[in-house]
Structure 1
């Protein structure tokens, strides 16, 4: 596995087949980091869909997992993975999840699959948080949309205060919160993160700071390349 602060970028848009292959490659590399006896956090989304069989294929009998969404839970159970509530497991040894955007400083945008609050709780509960992605998710700077989970009470007032934000039609989180997207410029992600966190009615937002991230595995034409985040390994 190559180690690099940059990822070789594909010329032009990726084909669907190539994108899925890269997701598979990143997921397989992350699955190799799971050891028997670990407590593992499982993210949500299309890249995690490749991760679950990659973990199951390893045949680790004593791995217990916490899922971040009903979809992940159903898929994991179908593959024979052992699941438990996060509160039962306590601190996790490792959590693995995808990302919608990854900038050069290891800031992430996550939550396109509507499970952003659970994903952030699981990432924070893990000693090691690994992010997996295909190469088109690596960007020069973060941009909109940034997913939000909102309280139902006063949601329109919350959106008005935020400014450039709108609800996703019919979308809700696994815990019943409304899903919206912040559509303004991101600029300094730390400043926007603080602003969104301070807004009454915002349960959580999809900006993940580098200090939450241990390792980023980005798969592309050059193979799986590794970036370091701000959370120490072990």
Structure 2
């Protein structure tokens, strides 16, 4: 506010020009794993509302292929049944998400991130997972000492 920036509640905003965030893993094709801190549901909503989602990571975050753990946010109602359906998975010994969800991690293979994302999204009790598709990502910046590697992803815009 001291700089003249307008501060608004995110509930009043339906679109962002740009959002900037980090990631736990970045694959060469633009798939991301986010949610190490347990706020991936909110992060995905914000990234999905952005015209451009820019990811900034250090040189330890790029990977050749995504791997587990994949963060999950689950409803507390029926959590044991949900955990059985997303196995192999484990609950984290952490506080609930900002919206009251239980935080867990999927520990199985991530050979096909798109198929896994569909499977997790279709599982009753899964609020959200930490797989972010490349269609959400505009740019990835990787800090490497004094230099920065930049990768831009071009996707057809689905915003209206």
- 2:137 equivalent to 1:194: no
Aligned length: 158
Q: Could you tell me which of 138, 143, 146 is aligned with 2:62?
A: 138
- 2:155 equivalent to 1:228: no
State the partner residue of 2:84: 160
Q: Between Structure 1 and Structure 2, whose CA radius of gyration is higher?
A: 1
- 2:103 equivalent to 1:179: yes
Q: Could you tell me which of 29, 51, 55 is aligned with 1:105?
A: 29
The structure with the largest strand share of the pair is: 2
* Residue 219 to residue 91, structure 1, CA distance change in 2 (3 Å): same
TM-score (normalizing by structure 1):
0.64
* Structure-to-structure mapping, 1:62-77, within 5 angstroms: 62=5, 64=6
State the partner residue of 2:75: 151
Displacement after TM superposition at 1:60 (Å): 4.9
Displacement after TM superposition at 1:89 (Å): 2.6
* Consecutive unaligned residues in structure 2, runs of 5 or more: none
The structure with the largest helix share of the pair is: 1
Displacement after TM superposition at 1:161 (Å): 1.1
- 2:112 equivalent to 1:169: no
For residues 131 and 219 of structure 1, what CA distance do their matches in structure 2 show?
A: 11
For residues 232 and 85 of structure 1, what CA distance do their matches in structure 2 show?
A: 29
For residues 124 and 180 of structure 1, what CA distance do their matches in structure 2 show?
A: 22
State the partner residue of 2:131: 207
For residues 67 and 4 of structure 2, what CA distance do their matches in structure 1 show?
A: 41
CA RMSD of aligned residues (A): 1.9
